[in-house]
Structure 1
Amino acid sequence: MQLLADLISTLAAIAAAGYCLVLARRLKRFNQLETGMGGAIAVLSAQVDDMTRALERAQATATHSETQLRALTERAENGAEKLELMLAALHDLPEEDEPRRRVVRRRHRHEAMEAAE
């Protein structure tokens, strides 16, 4: 009986060793950088780094654009307020009943030019 138990445990140990060997080979292929998942993970990691840098640049650009847009909006609001004040001041001017007369000025010719004619 003891011999049978030793034989079964030896066969179980050999089977476990074979299973570990198969798993080790699969893991080695899985982690190869050129053809396996290790390569895919390395490529994806590099792409994540690139995208992170691109996102940081885009955020910096957006922040700068937001600052410029805010400044331009404030300038436009100030200009609109000034225009509203000017329009209000124009409404306060008295209206003239008689039409404006145009003043036409004539040029005086020099005497030397009149002699030439």
Structure 2
Amino acid sequence: MDLISDILLVAGSFGAAIYCYVLSNRLKRFTTLESGMGGAIAVLSAEVDDMTVALERARGAANGSAESLEALTTRGEAVARKLELLVASLHDLPDGDPAAQPASGADPSPETERRLRVVRRRTPRTSLEAAE
């Protein structure tokens, strides 16, 4: 009985040794950097790093564009308010009817002599707006 158990023990250890040898060879092929999965993992890791850098650049450009767009929107709203005031002030101007004008021999009143002036002011440009 001892002899049979010893033979089975030797056969089992021999089978385990062959299994470990085959597994070792497969693991060596798996981890080689040139042709195995190690190479694929290294390439993918480098691509992930490149994509991270590209994503950060794109995020920075998008933030800059958003800030520029916000500044331009604010500026546009201010100009729209000024235009609304100008349009509202146009209702106060006299009509250009010749019938409404006094005759050439009539004494001009101070209202008709008064000339309207338009004053335009330029807003100072920031360095960002000057570059656009």
Same fold, judged at TM 0.5 (above) = yes
- Paired residues in the alignment total 100
Whole-Å Cα distance in 1 between the matches of residues 80 and 31 of structure 2? 66
Report the structure number with the largest CA radius of gyration.
Answer: 1
Letter in 1 for 2:89: A
Identical-residue share of aligned pairs (%): 57
TM-score by length of 1: 0.80
Given the alignment of the two structures, is residue 29 of structure 1 paired with residue 16 of structure 2, yes or no? Answer: no
Q: Which has more helix, going by share of residues?
A: 1
- Higher relative contact order structure (alpha carbons within 8 Å, sequence separation ≥ 6): 1
Aligned to 2:85: 85
Aligned to 2:52: 52
Whole-Å Cα distance in 1 between the matches of residues 92 and 18 of structure 2? 102
Unmatched segments (≥5 aa) in structure 2 = 102-132
Unmatched segments (≥5 aa) in structure 1 = 101-117
TM-score by length of 2: 0.72
Deviations 1:50-99 (A, max 9, x none): 00000001001100110011001110111011101100110122324326
**Which 4+ stretches in 1 moved above 6 angstroms?**
none
Aligned to 1:106: none
